[in-house]
Amino acid sequence: MDRRTFITTGLVAGAAISAGTFPRQSRASEPAESSKKGKFKLKYAPHFGMFRNHAGNDPIDQLKFMADEGFGAMEDNGMMERSKQSQEKIAGQMSRLGMTMGVFVGCAHWGQKTFVRRYKTVRKMLVKQMAAAVEVAKRVNAKWCTVLLDSYDDGLEWEYQTANAIDNLKACAEVCGPSGLVMVLEPLNPWRDHPGLFLTRIPQAYQICRAVGSPSCKILDDLYHQQVTEGNLIPNMDLAWDEIGYFQVGDNPGRNEPTTGEINYRNIFKHIYEKGYKGVLGMEHGNSKEGKEGERAVIKAYRQCDNF
């Protein structure tokens, strides 16, 4: 399940809000199972569709279920594609529930060479897109948006591509700065999911963020992707800590909930907590099992790994 799949799934889950139509009686109007165990230590953020078997298809009911289960945040990759009305309804419900909005995808051009090029037309397009992301962030009370540096150019030396990416990001950071929106640059693994992209490693992202030198440009450390690409998760996290603005979670292999693969998420969550992290950890993964059983397995896995 890659990011494009997450975006599509989330938008389908939000169709009722977009259309302004709601079922007279949703499944969530019936008594839903709930662990009632209180908040987690960290702000884990599910996405729309993750608990639809318990909460139904209405995103508002899904938010209520997440909050009832102790989740203090939610992320939605496809937020920019939603209608203004949908965005406002989601934001209003999250505010009432005391939930934090996680990332949405602010800039991604799959298969295109954008940030690595030094063209005025490209920079103008990137700046315009980030300006649109700023408006969405204001509407939904979001602090972070995901930015992908897109494909590399095999006809240009790597160092020139890096310099171009830095310059383009500086221009985008100037747009984000006044609003407080933080672009989080996500390295994606080239081996399993996303071959051909420019940004793949945490040290590479660290170098770029240091060069941009703006609080509006940080790293999104997706621990699933980095386990596939380079491993060494905690040491890389510590070395890049000052430039990390956001985390995402998924086990490997399979990209499902923690405890289903090789990553020791209990130790990782404990490490992140003890470093004083107050931000969001996006649950950007699938469920290892179908139906309500699979949804309960996700919640149980986070309870287990959060028990440190």
The phi and psi torsions of 108 (rounded to 5 degrees) equal -160, 125
> Is-catalytic flag, 295?
no
The phi and psi torsions of 280 (rounded to 5 degrees) equal -105, 145
Structure tokens given for 222: 């997706």
Residue with tokens 């997440």: 66
CA nearest 218: which of 205, 227, 234, 231? 205
Catalytic residue among 81, 186, 243, 257: 186
Q: What is the dihedral of CA 56, 59, 61, 65, to 10 degrees?
A: 90
> Is-catalytic flag, 274?
no
CB atoms within 10 A of CB 262: 10
CA nearest 202: which of 182, 179, 184, 215? 184
Catalytic residue among 69, 81, 243, 284: 284
**DSSP secondary structure string for all residues of 174-216:** HHHGGGT-EEEE----TTTT-TTBS---HHHHHHHHHHH--TT
Residues annotated as part of the active site: 186, 284
